[in-house]
Amino acid sequence: MTQFTALEDFFCAETQSHYAKDLSYTVRAFESYDASAWNEKQRAQVKARCDALAALLPRWLQEGKVRLGGPLAAQVNAGRVQGAGKIH
């Protein structure tokens, strides 16, 4: 899993997500998700986003939109939040 931090605010159409300056993100493999509760369409959607993020990261690094690693002030000492939720 590769962690990166956004250096500016931007929206990515491929992952359907906003990336906010100074917040950190993790590139995860699709296989790391528990997809048992998802239907085929949802699986395909999440896999496409995972693949897109992995493919886009080198370009974002080159463009200076992100840098590798966690929060700047606490690269070693950053705590970690993980969660999942739903819009109904």
Partner 1 sequence: MNRLLIRLLGALFAPLYAVTHGAGTRTVIADAVVDRIDVGGTGTLVFRTSGDVEVATLTFSATAYGAASGPTATAAAITADSSATGGTIAKAAQVGVTNGDVILCSVTATGGGGDIELNSVVVSAGQQVSVSSLTYSAMP
- Interface with partner 1 (CB under 8 A): 4, 6, 9, 12, 15-20, 23-28, 30, 33, 42, 45-50, 52-53, 74, 76-88
Smallest distance, partner 1 to C-beta of residue 53, A: 5
The dihedrals phi and psi of 67, each to the nearest 5 degrees, come to -135, 155
In the chain the first and final C-alpha atoms are separated, in Å, by 29
If the CB atoms of residues 26 and 63 are measured against partner 1, the closer one turns out to be: 26
| Amino acid found at 30 | F
If the CB atoms of residues 7 and 46 are measured against partner 1, the closer one turns out to be: 46
For residues 82 and 67, what is the distance between their CA atoms, to the nearest angstrom? 21
